[in-house]
Amino acid sequence: MLGENMPHAGLLDGSWLAESVRLTLFPPQAVAPRPLWQSIVGTPPEEVTERPAQNLRQESGPYKEGQLIVAQNGQRIDLVYAKKGDEIPFDDSPSGGLANVGEARKALEGTLELFSKIKPLIMPIARIAIAPTLVKKYKHHAECVAAVKLMLPGLPLNAETDREFLLQINRRTAPKSFPGHINNICKWQISSFDLSGLPFPPQIGMSIQSLSFSFLRIELDVNSLTTNEALYIDNIDQSFAELKESTQSFMRGEII
């Protein structure tokens, strides 16, 4: 079990950053996209893109440490809290070179607090998904591999031969507030940003190459599947609270 090999806080201990957090709400039937961003945030969006023929609408604007994107396609509404691509600092700090909106715990809370604002605008709701993507930077590839092996003991990973790594698990749990189950999907990925082999001029090569690093990305997707949408809609607040707690338990290492 992951929780046996991690501190109790797990991915919420302050050292993990949130690349993004997505909250997705699914209506029981298709609905036409409509303006939502200003009602959720309180100010007009900076950008709005509409494609009526495809039933698509996207609104975006600044939110906390990044931007909030509200995307609709008739079948689902996605609220995505993420960093703008042109706002990524590149230095040797713990967050340098990683697109992120800050500490994982704060980013998760900052996104999920929007549920109470969007809920009355789009009810009824048939399904919910909470999907944070977390990243952590390591100076060396071997440190990244060691972190994965600490989380997943017994995994035959070799830092010398295994340069890339991808693993996905879906652990189902039984909910209390609705009939059906909760999908707890977790994907681990090791990647590297390596400049050491590039032919930089001697006067700048050392400083740029020293910025090479490895990083571990963990993508979570905690979502509901119900056998009775009417009961689920009746218990929407309890269902959301249970999915939120399941996400936090996952991040503490109590599910895998």
How many Å apart are CA 47 and CA 12, to the nearest integer? 32
Strand, coil or helix: 175:
coil
What is the structure's pLDDT at 6? 46
Question: What pLDDT, on the 0 to 100 scale, is given for residue 1?
Answer: 43
145-156 tens-digit pLDDT? 888 888 888 888
Q: By CB neighbour count within 10 A (0-12 exposed, 13-18 middle, 19+ buried), where does 185 fall?
A: middle
- Residue 53 has a CB neighbour count (10 Å cut-off) of 6
Measure the CA–CA gap between 57 and 72, rounded to whole angstroms: 5
Q: Is the pLDDT of residue 47 over 80?
A: yes
State how far the Cα of 73 lies from the Cα of 239, in Å rounded to an integer: 23
Q: Give the dihedral sign, CA 38/40/43/44.
A: negative
Question: Looking at the predicted structure, is the pLDDT value of residue 65 above 80?
Answer: yes
Domain chopping of the chain, boundaries? 2-252
Question: What is the 3-class SS of 54-72, one letter each residue?
Answer: HCEEEEEEEECCEEEEEEE
Per-residue pLDDT of 200-233, as tens digits, reads 455 544 455 456 778 899 999 999 987 665 445 5
